[in-house]
């Protein structure tokens, strides 16, 4: 599988959480193979029952940032990577410049103690984000 796309299981969970951004590829429901059309077009494959949008990691992280205001950082190199998720705790919606300003944050960090590659840290972070939203 191409490393830029999140796995099928997490793509299905994002669909269930309401992810509806256009993507270039999709998974068949209950099948992890990509569908590649002759004409690659952006589409919300999540709008159908049989397909699940094949989401890029950057799309998923952007969606969590824009929809929930989460500040997501993957830190590390080839190995010993980890993640930090910042969740706005207090927001001043009447700041001087007219834009909301986060006054304080709650931080969730990768506390497993496991050595992870950058890609493993990305996946662990994505799973944690899904868990946080499901438990909201």
Could you please report the per-residue DSSP string of 53-72?
EE-BHHHHHHHHHHHH--EE
Which residues have CB under 8 Å from 109's CB, separation 6+?
Answer: 82, 83, 84, 85
Three-state SS across 73-89? Answer: EEECCCCCCEEEEEEEE
Residue 65 near residue 84, CB atoms below 8 Å: no
Buried b (16+ CB within 10 A) or exposed e, 108-121: bebeeeeebebebb
Please choose, from the candidates 31, 23, 7, the residue with its C-alpha nearest in 3D space to the C-alpha of residue 126. Answer: 7
Where are the domains positioned within the chain? 1-55, 56-136
The pTM is what?
A: 0.86
Name the more confident of 122 and 47. Answer: 122
In order of 68, 91, 98, 102, the CA distances from 95 in angstroms are 19, 9, 5, 10
Name the more confident of 76 and 127. Answer: 127
**pLDDT tens sequence across 73-119:** 999 877 789 999 999 999 898 888 988 889 999 999 988 888 899 99
Name the more confident of 36 and 73. Answer: 73
pLDDT at 1: 55
pLDDT at 87: 93
* Residue 15 CB neighbours (<10 A): 20
């Amino acid at each position: 599988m191409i490393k830029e796309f999140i796995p099928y299981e997490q793509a299905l969970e994002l669909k269930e959480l309401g992810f509806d951004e256009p993507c270039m590829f999709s998974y068949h429901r209950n099948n992890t193979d990509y569908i590649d059309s002759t004409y690659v077009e952006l589409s919300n494959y999540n709008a159908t029952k049989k397909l699940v949008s094949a989401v890029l990691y950057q799309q998923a992280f952007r969606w969590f940032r824009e929809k929930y205001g989460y500040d997501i950082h993957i830190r590390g190199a080839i190995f010993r990577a980890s993640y930090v998720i910042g969740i706005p705790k207090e927001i001043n919606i009447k700041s001087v410049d007219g834009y909301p300003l986060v006054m304080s944050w709650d931080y969730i960090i990768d506390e497993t103690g496991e050595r992870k590659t950058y890609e493993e840290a990305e996946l662990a972070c994505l799973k944690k984000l899904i868990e946080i939203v499901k438990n909201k």
